[in-house]
Amino acid sequence: MAGAVKKRGNRLERNDRLVRLALLVIAFSAVSVLVVITIFIVGQGTPIMFRYGFKSFLAGSDWYPSEKLFGLWPMIVGSLAVTAGALVIGVPLGLSCAIVLTEFSSKRVRGVIKPIVELLAGIPSVVYGFIGVVILVPFIRETFGGPGLSVLAASIILGIMILPTIISISVDSLQAVPPSYREGSIALGATRWQTVKMVLFPAARSGIIASIILGMGRAVGETMATIMVAGNAAEVPGSLLAPVRTLTSNVALEMSYATGEHREALFATGVVLFVIIMVLNTIANATSAKRRKQP
């Protein structure tokens, strides 16, 4: 045996090393792309922010590119408003669905509802926006007044769009709670809802919070649907029924014809978006990490 086991050429090992190197290079592709994107967006967008001053850029309430006024405040408020609205709609509906799916339905019912929810995730955002324009906006206009294109419309549509995110992650978190928790609680005489409220929710809390934050990220980043139903007026919305423009819509609407400083300002909008999303993602990751560390 001794002889045969001596290294018969380094061929195999060299191959393995080459493969490993190639895969390492490939693996860095994701990082490189991220780095390149960050460099570009930040590189194109920050000079103008310095030039006009952060305060006037972020807090200025006038956005008139033709007069060199680049105040993003209305859009920042806009994004926050529709996101908050989306959460008001999406979280109760989504969590209810998640709870019903995991705790209150039989396997058969689950087999029907779960695929339907997953289908929700596959519908393109433009279709959501379209439904909003064709059905929701006229309805709001006729029932509540105002132009119909409003914070309310955007909130409802976005709320529906973030449902799959909230539902699927919450379902995962709830299912990850050890069965012994449930059994223990029921054995002590608690009803199912009491079990959910006092045992499962706290145990799955970080996962549920992570799902909400990710839903927030989705809502903040959504473009097409908001363009179609939000009205796109670059003013701080005065009420739920007022039209509003989000940061994303700001970029999408003016990209095609913006030049020079105007274009830089749009990149700066992108930078603001970028920062918001990164912050949200980091928080979501931190809460998920906490979840993984929990017993």
Residues 41-100 within binding reach of another protein (CB under 8 A): 41, 44, 92-94, 96-97, 99-100
Which position has the token pair 């499962």? 200
Between 26 and 55, CB nearer to another protein: 26
Residue carrying structure tokens 């054995």:
187
Residues of this chain, 115-144, that bind another protein according to CB under 8 A: 116-120, 122-131, 133, 135
Distance CA 246, CA 231 (A): 10
- Straight-line distance from the first to the last Cα atom of the chain, in angstroms, rounded to the nearest whole number: 50
Among 74, 217, 231, 237, binds another protein (CB under 8 A): 217
Is 286 an interacting residue with respect to another protein (CB under 8 A)?
A: no
Among 66, 180, 256, 259, interactor with another protein by CB under 8 A: 256
Work out whether 281 is an interface residue with another protein (CB under 8 A): yes
> What gap in Å lies between CA 165 and CA 2, rounded to an integer?
59
Q: Which stretch binds another protein (CB under 8 A): 137-145, 203-211, 230-238, 247-255?
A: 247-255
The single residue listed with the structure tokens 């999303």 is: 277
Handedness of CA 240, 243, 246, 249 (dihedral sign): positive
Using the rule CB under 8 A, which residue among 58, 113, 236, 240 binds another protein? Answer: 113
CB atoms under 10 Å from CB of 261, counted, come to: 16
- Rounded to whole angstroms, how far apart are CA atoms 205 and 82? 24
Q: Mask of contacts with another protein, 158-197, x by CB under 8 A?
A: --x--x---x----------------------xxxxx---
